[in-house]
């Protein structure tokens, strides 16, 4: 189940979400939170709700809930990294860095972001994601392989473990 705090104006630990989040925890399914930048054409979006640091409250209050911070929390990558490092129930995905195909500046951006994550967060908690259909799938896979290598963990193992498949 994906939640969009920056577009719908709530913090991830909002008690109104608890029945849904507790149900996800009960069935060992993850909650995915849009985090980081919001689409610039959605003028009413509020960044304060989309900051990755707010996931920490939820992760500590519901430690049995598996949580994914979408988009590596970009541009708050260090916050997302720390939340993931601190809370064993938190993961990140590398989706949402481009609209369409990757250009060189986009590759540099994702590479620098991944480097920050890799400094302290465990490699078993990053997931491949493309934000398809917004991001071109072929371009995303190629770029992810360039940056992360042909990592079985990134492309399948981490998701298999997280989703229990």
pLDDT tens-digit profile of 22-34?
Answer: 999 999 999 999 9
Confidence of residue 42 (pLDDT cuts 50, 70, 90): low
Which residue in 19, 35, 135 sits closest to 78, CA to CA?
35
Calculate what percentage of the chain has a pLDDT beyond 90: 67
Q: What is the pLDDT of residues 88-134, one digit of tens each?
A: 999 999 998 888 899 888 888 888 888 888 888 888 999 999 888 88
Domain count, the chain: 1
Residue partners of 73: CB distance under 8 A and separation at least 6: 35, 36, 51, 52, 79, 80, 81, 83, 92
Which residue in 153, 64, 146 sits closest to 110, CA to CA?
146
pLDDT the model gives residue 155: 94
Q: Which helix (H) or strand (E) holds 116?
A: helix 104-120
Give residue 120's domain range. Answer: 2-163
How is residue 95 written in tokens? 């989706």
CATH number, domain of 96, equals 3.20.20.140
**pLDDT, mean over the chain:** 92
Confidence of residue 41 (pLDDT cuts 50, 70, 90): low
Could you tell me the pTM of the whole model?
Answer: 0.93
């Amino acid at each position: 189940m994906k939640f969009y705090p920056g577009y719908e104006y709530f913090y991830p630990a909002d008690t109104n979400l608890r029945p849904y989040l507790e149900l996800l925890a009960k069935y060992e399914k993850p909650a995915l939170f849009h985090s980081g930048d919001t689409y610039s054409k959605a003028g009413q979006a509020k960044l304060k709700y989309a900051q990755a640091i707010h996931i920490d409250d939820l992760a500590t209050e519901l430690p049995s809930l598996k949580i994914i911070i979408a988009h590596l929390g970009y541009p708050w990558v260090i916050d997302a990294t720390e939340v993931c490092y601190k809370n064993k129930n938190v993961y990140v995905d590398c989706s949402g860095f481009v609209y369409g195909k990757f250009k060189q500046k986009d590759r540099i951006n994702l590479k620098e972001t991944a480097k920050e994550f890799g400094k302290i967060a465990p490699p078993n908690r990053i997931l491949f994601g493309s934000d398809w259909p917004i991001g071109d799938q072929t371009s995303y896979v190629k770029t992810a392989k360039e940056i992360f290598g042909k990592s079985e963990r990134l492309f399948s193992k981490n998701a298999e473990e997280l989703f229990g498949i």
